[in-house]
Amino acid sequence: MKRKIKFGLMKKLLISFCLCITVDSVFSQSALPPLRIQHVTGNFYTYVSYGNFNGISYPSNSMYLVTKKGVVLFDTPFDESYYQPLLDSIWKRHHKKAIMCIATHFHNDRTGGIKYYASKGIKTYATRMTDSLCVARGENRAEYLIPNDTTFRVSGNTFQTYYPGAGHTLDNIVIWFPKEKILYGGCFIKSAGDNLGNLSDSDVKAWANSIRRVQQKFPNPNYIIVGHKDYTDKNSLSHTLDLVNEYNATHP
């Protein structure tokens, strides 16, 4: 009788232990790294958030600019768990509130947080093409539409949105800061050493000419901020062109 009790107890303990391992394993796969904020130059900062991609944490680069009136966000975090922590981190670091946010294309790693930020009184912007794709795909929509290439002036800071043509997506835009010569490319530009990534919404045939337009319009940038992974190599734009040319050569 005692042996049966001990065996039953051991069986229950073993089942509980296995359940704990399973739960802990699922949690560890779904848990995302903390938000990372990095200084670029002057009043420019990148913030790195993560999305859960097939059980792997995948980094996404976005940027913000600190002005006297408040902070301008360029794209939103990848995952909703970062939406409020980003605002909290900005307030803690700069004692400023975010006042506007511009999405560079319709994918969720760029537009996911615009509905949340609009609810916080932050003005959200996207191009008309991005808005139409957000409607078609059921993504969150910006409150304000950018009709064409537009120059923004915010508290003495100037930046320009530019649509070079299709590439990573049909609607991708880049943002240029002329004084600092910063090119914010988002997912249109791939990190040096990276591949073309998700091509499900891409127009790879048009991408090469779109890159050349950016190179001609904004030559010799001091910084190029790419959508994912490392952005410290200024050869990322030419690297992206090489990737596109290689792809087109093997996919006639």
- Spot the catalytic one: 61, 75, 79, 105: 105
107 is catalytic: yes
39 is catalytic: no
- Spot the catalytic one: 157, 168, 172, 239: 168
Phi/psi of residue 18, nearest 5 degrees: -65, -40
| Strand 182-186 to 174-177 pairing | antiparallel
Q: Are 191 and 244 in contact (CB under 8 A)?
A: no
The two tokens of residue 186 are: 């988002």
- Spot the catalytic one: 75, 79, 109, 171: 109
Integer Cα distance of 142 and 126 in angstroms:
6
Contacts of 57-63 with C-beta under 8 Å, sequence gap 24+, read 57/32, 57/33, 58/228, 59/228, 59/229, 60/109, 60/227, 60/228, 61/225, 61/226, 61/227, 61/228, 61/229, 61/231, 62/110, 63/184, 63/225
The percent of the chain in helix, strand and coil, each rounded to the nearest 5, is 35, 25, 35
- Spot the catalytic one: 198, 222, 235, 248: 198
Beta carbons within 10 angstroms of residue 161's beta carbon: 21
Integer Cα distance of 87 and 78 in angstroms:
14
Q: Does residue 103 come out as left (phi exceeding 0), alpha (psi in the -120 to 50 range) or beta?
A: beta
94 is catalytic: no
Alpha-carbon torsion 74, 79, 82, 83, what sign?
positive
Q: Active-site residue numbers?
A: 105, 107, 109, 168, 198
